[in-house]
């Protein structure tokens, strides 16, 4: 019998007075976080929540996130984390699809009225019975008339709780995939999936009890949840929370709290690299940083190299997906690293590159990346047909195109779903992006396929230029053509001020056309 909440309880026993989370000027100890989670678990039990019930959670990177997350788990229920950017119709879909019994939602801000959208989504979902609004201060009155607050749920509840027993294979989390193809699907992850992944993540980041890590990746996303929050709690480290990425805020917190571990997505590294203010002691910040990790999307090699040169700290890039709890492969300090690679399989996970018949392809050849091991989800919640496609003979089929080299390092070429077929030839956007971003005028680029009568699909590049640099579309097309095979260069270029981003900092290609 095991429950993921053991990682918090164990550290609360060993290091009760140590800072678990720092948010702005607030320092919350392990004992405080665990006590609040116990009060929430007691409140949920009193409210009629039972083992296996699903409870949704919408919350920014605030200490309330781990309190509610572990309160739900302690009560034997299942956490359904939702993106903070969802609107009422999307919230209704997620509550309905997951069969959520209750919903915790942060009140939000005037710019991001999460509470109003959350309540509207809840009101449209009769099957979801209880709504709790998380207020900025737990003692605040409810900003929505008639809505119970998290503070009301916790009031007069004991800060001690005897966990509901769960087995290792019981579902702990239903995490929704980003829905790049069709509606989002809920991946069911067990307590065992998540504990194993948190444990091996501490090896990847070289995390020890004394470390301070900065969490700016959203906690509702599996990357931050497992690799930072859960791994940090397991080791008894301190996590500094930042609700929204801003290069200045990141450097400020790194300097103030002597941050040693940072994880980000490529757009964050790009933002830090392009930050031009000199108000921080970047040398001191770099000296404290021992580990930087990147995931969520492919990190352009030149961003990796420039960052490492500037800050003298290696970026370890890895590959994972919600369905893999999330970590599948990583550049690991003990095995060395290769720029542009997502590394080698993590402990206990097997990875292969296969053709359409499921046969392993030779080294250096492209195929679909598949994997099996302790990290593989139980399946998509209530989606038996989808599971037949994704889970075959114990192997999870990722839908990602990869190559394995002679040293056993994996390279992600692209999503099969993002592949462009131009005049019958397969073109992978990432390959073109890697070339174009080497041009001194190009800061960021996203390559997509657009419908074309003659060629089926035509290659289009959406480009953000470096500050103060200029180049015409004709010049950039000509330059790219010189550096890549003739069938791969973009025929159309659109210059943009910025690329659309998801809440997790991924470029939203489906919004480009």
Name the pLDDT band for 182 (thresholds 50, 70, 90). Answer: low
The residue ranges of every structural domain in the chain are 6-13+27-166, 191-415, 419-511
Could you give the angle at which helices 88-98 and 114-123 cross, rounded to 10 degrees?
A: 50
CATH node for 191-415: 3.40.50.12780
147-157 burial string, b = 16+ CB within 10 Å, else e?
Answer: bebbbbbbeeb
pLDDT tier at 192 (50, 70, 90 boundaries)? very high
Confidence at residue 348, expressed as pLDDT on a 0 to 100 scale: 97
The pLDDT value given to residue 506 = 84
The pTM score is 0.89
Domains 6-13+27-166 and 419-511 share a fold: no
Distance CA 118, CA 133 (A): 9
Cα–Cα distance measured from residue 47 to residue 38, given in angstroms and rounded to the nearest whole number: 14
- What pLDDT score was predicted for residue 394? 92
Which stretch of 153-157, 233-237, 273-277, 349-353 has the lowest confidence by average pLDDT? Answer: 273-277
Find out whether 243 and 214 touch, Cβ atoms under 8 Å.
no
Please report which helix (H) or strand (E) contains residue 257, including its range: helix 247-257
CATH class as words, domain 419-511: alpha beta
What is the total residue count of the chain?
513
Provide the pairing of β-strand 367-373 with 395-404: antiparallel
Classify each residue of 382-409 as buried b or exposed e, where b means 16 or more C-beta atoms within 10 Å of its C-beta.
ebeeebeebbeeebbbbbbbbbbeeeeb
Strand partners, 263: 293
| CA distances, 476 to each of 221, 325, 422, 451, 461 (Å) | 36, 40, 20, 22, 10
Give the phi and the psi of residue 108 in degrees, each rounded to 5: 85, -160
23-32, 225-234, 416-425, 457-466: range with lowest mean pLDDT:
416-425
What's the mean pLDDT in 434-441? 93
Q: Provide mean pLDDT across the span 368-393.
A: 96
Please name the helix (run of DSSP H) or strand (run of DSSP E) that holds residue 122, with its range, or none.
helix 114-123
What does the H/E/C string look like for 308-376? HHHHCCCEEEEEECHHHCCEEEECEHHHECCCCCCEEECCCEEEEEECCCCCECCCCCCEEEEEEECCC
Specify whether the CB–CB gap between 70 and 117 falls below 8 A. no
Tell me what pLDDT residue 299 has: 84
Give φ, ψ of 382 to 5 degrees. Answer: 55, 35
Q: Could you tell me which of 2, 376, 373 has the C-alpha nearest to residue 168?
A: 2
SS3 230: helix
Mean residue pLDDT of the chain comes to 94
Q: Which fold has domain 6-13+27-166?
A: Rossmann fold (3.40.50)
Asked which of 101-105, 292-296, 482-486 is least confident by mean pLDDT, the reply is 482-486
């Amino acid at each position: 019998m095991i429950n993921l909440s053991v990682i918090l309880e164990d550290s609360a026993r060993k290091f009760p007075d140590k800072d678990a989370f720092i948010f702005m000027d607030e320092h919350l100890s392990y004992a405080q976080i665990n006590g609040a989670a116990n009060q929430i678990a007691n409140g949920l039990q009193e409210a009629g929540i039972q083992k296996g019930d699903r409870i949704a959670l919408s919350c920014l990177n605030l200490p309330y996130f781990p309190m509610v997350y572990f309160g739900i788990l302690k009560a034997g229920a299942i956490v359904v984390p939702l993106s903070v950017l969802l609107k009422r119709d999307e919230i209704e879909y997620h509550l309905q699809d997951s069969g959520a019994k209750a919903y915790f939602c942060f009140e939000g801000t005037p710019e991001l009225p999460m509470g109003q959208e959350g309540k509207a989504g809840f009101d449209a979902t009769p099957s979801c019975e209880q709504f709790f609004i998380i207020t900025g201060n737990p003692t605040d009155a409810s900003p929505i008339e008639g809505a119970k607050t998290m503070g009301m749920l916790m009031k007069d509840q004991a800060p001690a709780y005897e966990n509901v027993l769960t087995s290792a294979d019981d579902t702990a989390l239903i995490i929704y995939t980003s829905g790049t193809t069709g509606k989002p699907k809920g991946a069911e992850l067990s307590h065992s999936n998540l504990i194993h992944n948190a444990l091996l993540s501490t090896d990847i980041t070289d995390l020890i009890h004394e470390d301070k890590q900065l969490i700016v990746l959203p906690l509702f996303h599996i990357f931050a949840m497992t690799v930072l929050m859960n791994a940090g709690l397991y080791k008894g480290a301190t996590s500094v929370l930042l609700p929204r990425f801003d290069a200045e805020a990141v450097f400020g917190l790194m300097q103030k709290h002597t941050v040693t571990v940072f994880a980000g997505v490529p757009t964050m590294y790009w933002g830090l690299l392009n930050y031009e203010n000199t108000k921080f002691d970047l040398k001191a910040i770099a000296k404290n940083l021992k580990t930087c990790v990147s995931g969520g999307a492919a990190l352009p090699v030149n961003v990796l190299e420039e960052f490492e040169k500037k800050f003298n700290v290696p970026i370890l890039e890895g590959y994972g997906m919600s369905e893999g709890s999330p970590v599948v492969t990583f550049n690991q300090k003990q095995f060395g690293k290769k720029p542009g690679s997502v590394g080698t399989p993590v402990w206990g996970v097997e990875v292969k590159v296969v053709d359409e018949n499921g046969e392993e392809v030779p080294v250096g050849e492209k195929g679909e990346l598949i994997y099996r091991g302790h990290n593989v989800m139980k399946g998509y919640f209530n989606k038996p047909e989808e599971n037949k496609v994704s889970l075959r003979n114990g192997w999870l089929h990722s839908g990602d195109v990869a190559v394995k080299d002679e040293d056993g390092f994996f390279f992600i070429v692209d999503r099969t779903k993002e592949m462009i077929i131009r005049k019958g030839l397969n073109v992978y956007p990432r390959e073109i992006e890697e070339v174009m971003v080497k041009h001194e005028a190009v800061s960021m680029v996203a390559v997509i396929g657009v419908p074309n009568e003659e060629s089926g699909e035509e290659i289009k590049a959406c480009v953000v230029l470096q500050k103060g640099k200029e180049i015409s579309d004709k010049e950039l097309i000509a330059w790219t053509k010189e550096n890549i095979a003739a069938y791969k260069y973009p025929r159309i270029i659109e210059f943009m001020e910025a690329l659309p981003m998801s809440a997790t900092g991924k470029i939203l290609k489906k919004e480009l056309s």
